[in-house]
Amino acid sequence: MWENVFQAIDEQYEKMVETRRHLHQYPEVSFQEVKTAQFIADTYEKLGIPYESHIGGNGVIARMEGGKPGKTVALRADFDALPIQEENEVPYKSKNDGAMHACGHDGHTAALLGLAEALVPHKEELPGTIVFLHQHAEEYAPGGAKPIVESGALNDVDAVFGTHLWVNAPTGVIQTSKGAFMAGADRFEIKVQGKGGHGAQPHQTKDAIVIASQLVSSLQQIVSRRIDPLKTAVLTVGTFESGTTFNVIADSATLTGTVRTFDPEVQTLIIEEMEKIIKGTCEANSADYEFIYEKGYPPVVNHPEEADLVLQHAHKADASLRTEEVEPVMAGEDFAYYLLDKPGTFYFTGAQIPDHYYPHHHPKFDFDEKALPHAAKTLFQTFISYQDS
């Protein structure tokens, strides 16, 4: 029944690529996406689709009311970049130093805008209302999803769906789960204050590097020895900053890292155990410390019925697509806030380049642009499937 719409999406392919590459060249990091938001708003202005800007910050929301009665469904795409210097040598390489679309958000935006343009001639055929939800600041907590929900802009929405271009899966594969899908993502910072001194007189110092090194090692025992092995958790120390020169013992050191969990009880236990280890280690070495723990995005927990719509109906959008029900991943996503507020599902759209595999957030990250229509088609198919559910 909707073959004409899927064909229209295919016809948008070159435009989607053009849009994606334009956005890729001019990335803006979280909470600074002013020009990107304006580009999105200008696109809807040209398409004649009503929209609102500055939702929850830099968010942009457009609405297309179909000609037939039905449900209101939001389809989400994020559009912020990362503070990364791009290392790809491609014609569309980032022109903004220190900023890069290293996670595919430029593709998410291009796919949703392409879908919107493809649907304009078919507006009267559509049941219900499509809400094109363009979200800022996914990459950095507190994120953009929470303030968008709190703004009330989605109060009338019946369900929310979103997809993430995923280079860990081959192009043509759609992945999701009927429950926990992505982990809660927290951040911590540990500051160790010792006593510096001459490198030749360690007995007169409280070596912050040695103390912080003990913490790096000891903290790893929380997951391996203090968490039920049937539970899932990750504790990663990502940065270690200390010292100024080779022959001086540092007086201070700072560690930062992340904790990923699905279970609130596990999260609480990790925080408690971290505090014990940090306090004990520093006291044993007569050093002071500061422990800052920031709870970030909650876990992404899909609603089973909505996840089943993706798994059972995605192939209707394109016969070449296949779906997989997968285990959760430890990456985090603020799409979680939408799912705490409304029914819905988040899923991955495979976008792996076989001869150019670099993970998300890598300076050489890139994705297969042939996945753009897959993302647009499956989002539309999910909208249609939800109307019939």
User: Residues at the annotated binding site for Mn(2+)?
Assistant: 103, 105, 139, 164, 361
Report residue 378 as tokens: 């499956």
Query: What is the DSSP pairing of strand 180-182 with strand 300-301?
Result: antiparallel
Which among 28, 78, 138, 366 is annotated as catalytic?
138
Query: What is the DSSP pairing of strand 127-135 with strand 68-78?
Result: parallel
Dist. CA 155–CA 166, nearest whole Å: 29
C-alpha to C-alpha distances, 38 to 32, 49, 60, 152, nearest whole angstrom: 12, 15, 9, 21
The residues facing 237 across adjacent strands are 257
CB 320 within 8 A of CB 282: no
Helix (H) or strand (E) holding 301: strand 300-301
Dist. CA 280–CA 177, nearest whole Å: 40
- CB within 8 A of 283, min separation 6: which ones? none
Tell me the chain's radius of gyration from C-alpha atoms.
Answer: 23
Three-class SS state of 214: helix
80 classed as catalytic: yes
The residues facing 180 across adjacent strands are 301
Closest CA to 219 of 264, 262, 253, 270: 270
Report residue 367 as tokens: 């994705």
CB 89 within 8 A of CB 364: no
- Report the alpha-carbon angle 192-98-168, nearest 5: 85
For residue 316, the number of C-alpha atoms closer than 13 Å in the C-beta half-sphere is 15
Which among 80, 186, 273, 334 is annotated as catalytic?
80
Query: What is the DSSP pairing of strand 197-198 with strand 248-249?
Result: antiparallel
The residues facing 75 across adjacent strands are 132, 161
The residues facing 166 across adjacent strands are 350
Active-site residue set: 80, 138
